Amino acid sequence: MMIEVRTTSYRQMVDITARVAAAIEGSGAGLCQVFVPHTTAAVVINESADPDVARDLVAAYEAMVPSIRFAHAEGNSDAHLMSTLLGSSITVPFEGGRLCLGTWQGIFFVELDGPRLRKVRVTLL
Amino acid sequence: MMIEVRTTSYRQMVDITARVAAAIEGSGAGLCQVFVPHTTAAVVINESADPDVARDLVAAYEAMVPSIRFAHAEGNSDAHLMSTLLGSSITVPFEGGRLCLGTWQGIFFVELDGPRLRKVRVTLL
Amino acid sequence: MMIEVRTTSYRQMVDITARVAAAIEGSGAGLCQVFVPHTTAAVVINESADPDVARDLVAAYEAMVPSIRFAHAEGNSDAHLMSTLLGSSITVPFEGGRLCLGTWQGIFFVELDGPRLRKVRVTLL
How remote is the C-alpha of C76 from its chain's centroid?
A: 18
Q: Which residues on neighbouring strands pair with residue B34, listed in sequence order?
A: B90, B122
Distance, in Å, from the CA atom of A91 to the CA atom of A30, rounded to the nearest integer, reads 10
Per-residue pLDDT band for C97 (boundaries 50, 70, 90) equals: very high
Q: What is the mean pLDDT of residues C76-82?
A: 98
Neighbours of chain A (3+ CB pairs under 8 A): B, C
Compute the distance between CA of residue B78 and CA of residue B69 in angstroms, rounded to an integer: 11
Which of chain A's residues have a Cβ under 8 Å away from the Cβ of C56?
Answer: 70-72, 77, 80-81
Q: What's the CA angle centered on C104, arms A23 and A31, to 5 degrees?
A: 25
* Beta-bridge partners for C41: C111
Residues 6+ apart with CB under 8 A from B5: B14, B16, B109, B111, B117, B118, B119, B120
**Neighbour-count burial for B74-97, b at 16+ CB within 10 Å, e otherwise:** eebbbbbbbbbbbbbbbbbbbeee
pLDDT at C118 (0 to 100): 98
B62: which DSSP letter?
Answer: H
pLDDT in tens, B75-87: 999 999 999 999 9
- Angle in degrees, CA C27, C32, C33, rounded to 5: 150
Q: Please give the torsion angle defined by the CA atoms of residues C42, C84, A19 and A2, in that order, rounded to the nearest 10 degrees.
A: 0
Instruction: Give the pLDDT of residue C59.
Output: 98
In angstroms, rounded to a whole number, what is the distance separating the alpha carbons of residues B35 and B118? 12
Give the pLDDT of residue A118. Answer: 98
Residues of A in contact with B81 (CB under 8 A): 56-57, 60
Report the residue of chain B nearest C39, measured CA to CA. B46
For chain A, give percent helix, strand, coil, nearest 5: 25, 35, 40
Query: What is the average per-residue pLDDT within B50-72?
Result: 97
Task: Evaluate the CA torsion angle A90, A42, A78, C102 in order and state its sign.
Answer: positive
**Among B44, B99, B125, the residue to mutate for chain C (most C Cβ within 10 A):** B44
Residue B120: CB atoms within 10 A of its CB come to 24
Is omega for the bond preceding B115 within 30 degrees of 0, making it cis? yes
Cα dist. A59→A69, A83, B39, B77 in Å? 21, 15, 17, 11
Q: What is the pTM of this model?
A: 0.98
CB-based contact A91 C91, cutoff 8 Å: yes
d(CA C66, CA C103): 34
pLDDT > 90 fraction of chain B, expressed in percent and rounded = 98
Q: What backbone phi and psi angles, to 5 degrees, belong to C54?
A: -60, -40
Residue C99: band (very low, low, confident or very high) from pLDDT cuts 50, 70, 90: very high
Residues of C in contact with A32 (CB under 8 A): none
Mean pLDDT, all residues of chain B: 97
Q: Beta strands of chain B (E only): which ranges?
A: 2-6, 12-15, 30-35, 41-47, 89-95, 98-99, 105-111, 117-124
Evaluated on CA atoms B68, B74, B78, B83, the torsion sign reads negative
Residue C110 CA, chain-centre distance (Å), reads 4
pLDDT value at residue B34: 98
pLDDT value at residue B14? 98
CA distance A44 to A58: 12
Residues C12-71 have pLDDT tens digits of 999 999 999 999 998 999 999 999 999 999 999 999 999 999 999 999 999 999 999 999
Query: Residue C82, Cβ neighbours under 10 Å: how many?
Result: 22
The stretch B44-72 carries a mean pLDDT of 97
Q: What does the pLDDT read at residue A72?
A: 92
Please name the member of B44, B52, B63 whose beta carbon is closest to the beta carbon of C71: B52
**Residue A50 contacts by C-beta under 8 Å, 6 or more apart in sequence?**
B72, B73, B74
The average pLDDT across B1-18 equals 98
Residue C50: its pLDDT value, please?
A: 95
**Closest to A81 (Cβ–Cβ): which among C30, C60, C103?**
C60
b/e per residue, A115-124, with b = 16+ CB within 10 A?
eeebebbbbe
Cα B53 from chain centroid?
14
Q: What pLDDT shows up at residue A37? A: 98
Ranges under pLDDT 70 in chain A: none
Contacts of C47 (CB under 8 A, 6+ apart): A39, A80, C53, C54, C104, C105, C106
C20 DSSP β-pair partners: none
